[in-house]
Structure 1
Amino acid sequence: MGFTTGDFPPVDTSTFLHQPLRERVRALALHWVEYGFGSPRIIAATYVAKILFLWLFVGAVIITATSGVGWFWQVDQWWNQPIVYQKAIIWTMLLETIGVAGSWGPIAGKFKPMTGGILFWARPGTIRLRPWEWVPGTAGDTRTILDVVLYLGLIASLAVALVLPGTVTPALAAVLPGNTSGLVQTPAVIAAIVFLVLAGVRDKTIAVASRIEQYLPALVFFAVLSFTDMIIALKLLIVVVWVGAGVSKFGRHFVNVIPPMLSNTPFWPPRWLKRSLYRDFPNDIRPSRVAHFLAHVMGMTVEIAAPLVLLFSQNFWVTLAAVVVMVGFHLFIISTFPLAVPLEWNTLFSYAAIFLFLGFPASAGYGVGDISSPWLLAGLVAALAFFPVLGNLRPDKVSFLPSMRQYAGNWASALWTFTPGAEKKLDAVVRPTKNQVEQLQQMGYPAEVAEITMQQTIAWRSMHSQGRGLFSVLYRSLPDIESRTVREGEFACNSVIGFNFGDGHLHDERLIRALQTRCHFAPGEFVVVWVESQPIHSAFQEYKVIDAALGVIERGRWRVADAVAAQPWLPDGPIPVEVRWKREGSEPVPDVTNSLRLPRKRSERVAR
């Protein structure tokens, strides 16, 4: 892999696409082990340059110039100024909301143009996905002038909050009498909260993209809490994010994330180290003991233990060590360039660890015991823990982001399939872009090369636990699978709504229904296999088969243990699945319930 040249899979482009799907998945998965996406390093360098120039340099210039804390290069004067941290959150949220932070660029499947976000959401007629159908005034799936006004109002309110000078509150003056830069102005923050809630209730895509689950609580803390309480609440917020993500890594999924994630790292590690993450490359590419160690010790354990140390430590050196660990943790994630590319978010969290726990340590009166009221503490903990708890018990009700399952591998996801030529019908969707294969061809890729490039994403999905289940259902449900085009749902979703962050709730049957009203697929032309995240108390994942023309035609589940035990390309055949409901009139499929090896009492209860 060179700086300007990628490492394309070593296949014959003239014959590869005629091979069976299993063989294609195997070849591309084995290539992923050593090269990941195989992108030229200039693409990763572009992301690094974007962080350094846009988020860091431009952000530092704007924040320091509007806050009265010294020039941007005088870091020693502003790194621990409260208004700087507040505006760093607002700046990051602004970039996320515009669409130039997470889920941006080629690694996220945006080739031409590289930005989704604002190009979709400031345009009437594009697809809008409401989070709750019962909310009055949100009917429909087409973006209106009102939606555009609310979205642009959100951007404007964040920009205003960013550039306005701070105000010194009595609570701040009492604690930091020498502080003259103050805090962000409350009216602008309240305006941002209102616009975010209104825009988010009408379109969950904007809510997810703006990271409402993390930035909205921070904005509320800015607006309603006294200074000391605000700092403690911000600490609780970031610790809940860290610990919630750590808890979500219990189970079987996360270890399957580590190998393909590290394999995609463009600058390190060497190929021999990448291979060590797999049991016996190229014969067995399930996770090795090295991968298990990285997942459960360096990942899960660190993400739970270090934040708790930060929250309760009264010792400077212990706190400093934990800060170093968490900064290193986020820099490590940045170095892997995960496909959702949440690089600005990880950079912000690195700064947050320094600002909150070294700038305002518990030993200086900013510990959880220093909050103004135990009732406030209890309320904050309950509010911050509500969605993570609910989302892990009922993942069908809560996105994986408010559930705090970042990077956990336990995601709702999907594979889309089209009969020959049917994918072209997506051109009926109002959007500023084309299907990704067409984007690549516009950039000069030959048709076969563009197709193989996008098929790398389904091989990547097969390396994760839910991918084996999705492919198993496809092989069982679609006898014509070899003639179909198969797409990774997350990437395909990006091309029609301008965003995806690994959240399968953005491309469930509601998006498919919206596409159908525009594209008018015939029965069987566009079939999706979609799976929900695994509840924390269950051993199964629930799937749906969705025909765009007919709706959900099948529901079932598979045992997660069976999925993680299989090779990505399923050489031993599909894993066992249990069909629990099938639409009347759909083509019958073999009953494989008994092959799930359920305990007798459980299977009898399911049968009833």
Structure 2
Amino acid sequence: MGFLTPTTPQVDPATFLRQPFFDRMRTLATHWVDNGFGTPRIVHVIYLAKLALLYIVGGVLVATLTSDVGSPFDIASWWNEPVVYQKLVVWTVLLESCGVAGSWGPLAGHFKPMTGGITYWVRPGTIRLAPWPTKVPFTGGDRRTVGDVLLYLALLVSLVVALALPGVPSEGLIAAVPDSTGGLLRVGSLVPVMVLLVIIGLRDKVVFLAARAEQYLPILLFSATLGFVDMIIAFKLTILVSWVGAGVSKIGEHFINVIPPMVSNAPFNPFQRLKRAHYRRYPEDLRPSKLAWFMAHVAGTTVEVAIPLVLLLSTNLTITVIAALAMVAFHLFIVSTFPLAVPLEWNILFAFAAVFLFVGFPAGDGYGVLDFSEPWMLPVIAAGLLFFPVLGNFRPDLVSFLPSMRQYAGNWASATWVFAPGAEARLNELDKPARNQVDQLQSMGYEPDDAEITMQMTLAWRSMHSQGRGLNSLLIRHVDDLDARTVREAEFVCNTLVGWNFGDGHLHDEGLIDAVQSRLHFAPGELLVMYVESQPIHRRTQAYRVVDAALGVVERGNWRVSDTVGPQPWLPDGPIPMTVEWTRPGYVPATLNAKG
């Protein structure tokens, strides 16, 4: 990777773009092995600067200077002060809610401007995606109103107020930690935040998920309702469910396909041989190697399940410290790979929480899982924390993969959008602050062909994952004139339409497709979407559907997950086997000459 310039495939752009689609995917996937996205290293430096200065330094200054915990430069005076942890959580929610934490910048498809989020959510008329618009009163429609903007601004103000107000004394805190000086967050400052998150979430699931409410809303709730010792134990259970839920979701056939392209995209890994070692036989066979299996299921899954359980149950301080440091290393490794959703702030907070919660308040000192003040609290809190992860794993169609705690698992609802020639440009007619990514790149000085190749790199990245082989198989089945069309990774399309995405396919399903269609009125065949739902934990198949923006769903079916992990990313042997369950009467695959 260059420091100021991207590392691009060594091809003649014009000639390359005339090649068949799957020939291009092979070239780009092979390029990805050594170079990842090829992003200039200066971009990663910008991310690190944002992480260090805005998030870490900014968060520490805000948390300490607004609380009576000593100097921000004297870490020993505040690292185990509960109010500091609480305020760092609120600080994280504020940055996430503005769209300047996760899913920010070029690695998330925000090239120019680099910020989506707030620039969309303070703008009446932009697309709004309610989770249950036909079931919850006053949430219908898909257009952001002035009222939605005011609710969103009220949320930001409430977060700032919660940060600015000093902590208040707590009898439980003083009894448990007599030398604590910072107190705890005021309950009255947390209630508006929680209420507004719920109300906004019912009106627009994008903002709710962007705030990472599934991670932080329980912490705010426990801060507002529990005594000190119970609150700390509940915090531990919250982070444990996130860790173990993510670990359990990695058991299966998807996750091993995440590791190789993730390692290949690590910008500061100079060892080409190490990158290639994650593939069976570069460049002929890009399926995961035995090393990738070890990294996925031993260094990944086992660590993420076993070590958090050790942290929860250990009463030996030495073992606890070692386990906490292991989780810190785990999260720092994820940061070093710069995954495309760039959840860097989340990983840093969880690394800090591993030390703050389990070393600062060890189980052997009365903060164990059996030390709740009332016996009913453990089963009730555990059941509440597990409800959405369990439901989401059995019915992934009902729950975002984020509340399902399936982060990084590779088992994602995903989609590919396919445009007839010239149709993608019509998305720029929508009321949104950012133009399509290919246009953003050109405004930065990219030649049109270079911008197009950059966007196709995201398709190659998807093809290296299990669901990518399935989606590309649907392209073969449903798009006769594939080489003449514009194909886009749906997550990047979603970012320009609603301002945020974190790998959640539910944000670009029929809700978004219908919102776009109601404004642009594509003709049949002009916009096709290949969509696949996550794999339920008790099934070996994934359900797919093909959507024509003008006609609605035109086909439903499923494929075996085992069939998606065997082929090469460029499907040299053709599409994977599929079971078609339903086809719209009269539907025929879209071509340039025969639509509908």
CA distance in 2, matches of 1:263, 1:181: 44
Deviations 1:1-44 (A, max 9, x none): 22212211111112111100000000000000110001111111
What aligned pairs does 1:209-608 form with structure 2 within 5 A after superposition? 209-587=210-588
> Does the residue aligned with 2:13 lie in a helix, a strand or coil?
coil
Cα drift, residue 68 of structure 1: 1.2
The unaligned stretches of length 5 or more in structure 1 are: 590-608
Preserved CA contact (<8 Å) 1:157 1:188: yes
Change (3 A) 1:439 1:588: closer
Preserved CA contact (<8 Å) 2:392 2:400: yes
Change (3 A) 1:359 1:292: same
AA of the residue aligned to 1:83: V
AA of the residue aligned to 2:88: A
Deviations 1:558-579 (A, max 9, x none): 1110111111000010111111
CA distance in 2, matches of 1:34, 1:507: 30
Who is 1:32 aligned against? 32
Preserved CA contact (<8 Å) 1:546 1:552: yes
Preserved CA contact (<8 Å) 2:478 2:589: no
Preserved CA contact (<8 Å) 2:480 2:589: no
Change (3 A) 1:88 1:588: closer
Who is 1:602 aligned against? none
CA distance in 2, matches of 1:153, 1:361: 37
AA of the residue aligned to 2:212: R
Deviations 1:220-254 (A, max 9, x none): 00100000000000000000000000000010000
**Is 1:70 aligned to 2:70, yes or no?**
yes
Who is 2:104 aligned against? 104
Preserved CA contact (<8 Å) 2:265 2:338: yes
CA distance in 2, matches of 1:214, 1:453: 33
CA distance in 2, matches of 1:415, 1:2: 30
Cα drift, residue 177 of structure 1: 2.5
Deviations 1:190-249 (A, max 9, x none): 010011000111000011101111111011001000000000000000000000000000
AA of the residue aligned to 2:19: Q
CA distance in 2, matches of 1:282, 1:368: 50
**Is 1:120 aligned to 2:125, yes or no?**
no
Cα drift, residue 363 of structure 1: 0.9
> Does the residue aligned with 1:545 lie in a helix, a strand or coil?
strand
AA of the residue aligned to 1:227: F
CA distance in 1, matches of 2:277, 2:589: 43
> Does the residue aligned with 2:111 lie in a helix, a strand or coil?
coil
Preserved CA contact (<8 Å) 1:532 1:542: yes
Cα drift, residue 588 of structure 1: 6.9
Who is 1:601 aligned against? none
Deviations 1:105-134 (A, max 9, x none): 000010010000000011100000001120
CA distance in 1, matches of 2:171, 2:326: 35
Cα drift, residue 139 of structure 1: 0.6
Preserved CA contact (<8 Å) 2:533 2:542: yes
Cα drift, residue 314 of structure 1: 0.2
AA of the residue aligned to 2:346: W
AA of the residue aligned to 1:20: P
Name which of structure 1's ranges 405-414 and 263-272 shifts more when overlaid on structure 2: 263-272
Deviations 1:337-389 (A, max 9, x none): 00000000000000000100010000111101111112111101101111111
**Is 1:79 aligned to 2:79, yes or no?**
yes
The TM-score normalised by the length of structure 1 is 0.96
CA distance in 1, matches of 2:399, 2:435: 30
> Does the residue aligned with 1:295 lie in a helix, a strand or coil?
helix
Cα drift, residue 265 of structure 1: 0.4
AA of the residue aligned to 1:69: V
Cα drift, residue 52 of structure 1: 0.4
Preserved CA contact (<8 Å) 2:155 2:196: yes
> Does the residue aligned with 1:415 lie in a helix, a strand or coil?
strand
> Does the residue aligned with 2:14 lie in a helix, a strand or coil?
coil
CA distance in 2, matches of 1:145, 1:500: 23
How many aligned residue pairs are there? Answer: 589
Cα drift, residue 60 of structure 1: 1.0
AA of the residue aligned to 1:432: P
Deviations 1:454-509 (A, max 9, x none): 00000000000000000001111111111110000001110110000000000001
> Does the residue aligned with 2:370 lie in a helix, a strand or coil?
helix
Cα drift, residue 269 of structure 1: 4.6
> Does the residue aligned with 1:172 lie in a helix, a strand or coil?
helix
Cα drift, residue 180 of structure 1: 2.6
Percent of aligned pairs with the same amino acid: 61
Cα drift, residue 71 of structure 1: 1.6
CA distance in 2, matches of 1:366, 1:328: 24
Deviations 1:275-326 (A, max 9, x none): 0000011000000000000000000000000000000000011001100110
CA distance in 1, matches of 2:180, 2:511: 50
CA distance in 2, matches of 1:23, 1:253: 24
Cα drift, residue 176 of structure 1: 2.0
Cα drift, residue 171 of structure 1: 1.7
Who is 1:88 aligned against? 88
Change (3 A) 1:588 1:568: closer
> Does the residue aligned with 2:200 lie in a helix, a strand or coil?
helix
Preserved CA contact (<8 Å) 1:473 1:577: no
Who is 1:16 aligned against? 16
> Does the residue aligned with 1:79 lie in a helix, a strand or coil?
coil
CA distance in 2, matches of 1:563, 1:169: 55
CA distance in 2, matches of 1:307, 1:454: 38
CA distance in 1, matches of 2:510, 2:565: 26
Cα drift, residue 258 of structure 1: 0.1
CA distance in 1, matches of 2:419, 2:580: 23
Preserved CA contact (<8 Å) 1:425 1:521: no
Cα drift, residue 533 of structure 1: 0.2
CA distance in 1, matches of 2:443, 2:411: 35
> Does the residue aligned with 2:531 lie in a helix, a strand or coil?
strand
The TM-score normalised by the length of structure 2 is 0.98
AA of the residue aligned to 2:297: H
Cα drift, residue 179 of structure 1: 2.2
Preserved CA contact (<8 Å) 2:82 2:184: yes
> Does the residue aligned with 1:546 lie in a helix, a strand or coil?
strand
Who is 2:593 aligned against? none
> Does the residue aligned with 1:371 lie in a helix, a strand or coil?
coil
**Is 1:130 aligned to 2:130, yes or no?**
yes
> Does the residue aligned with 1:544 lie in a helix, a strand or coil?
strand
> Does the residue aligned with 2:102 lie in a helix, a strand or coil?
coil
AA of the residue aligned to 2:387: F
AA of the residue aligned to 2:52: L
The unaligned stretches of length 5 or more in structure 2 are: 591-596
AA of the residue aligned to 1:555: R
> Does the residue aligned with 2:421 lie in a helix, a strand or coil?
coil
**Is 1:44 aligned to 2:54, yes or no?**
no
Change (3 A) 1:250 1:297: same
Cα drift, residue 428 of structure 1: 2.0
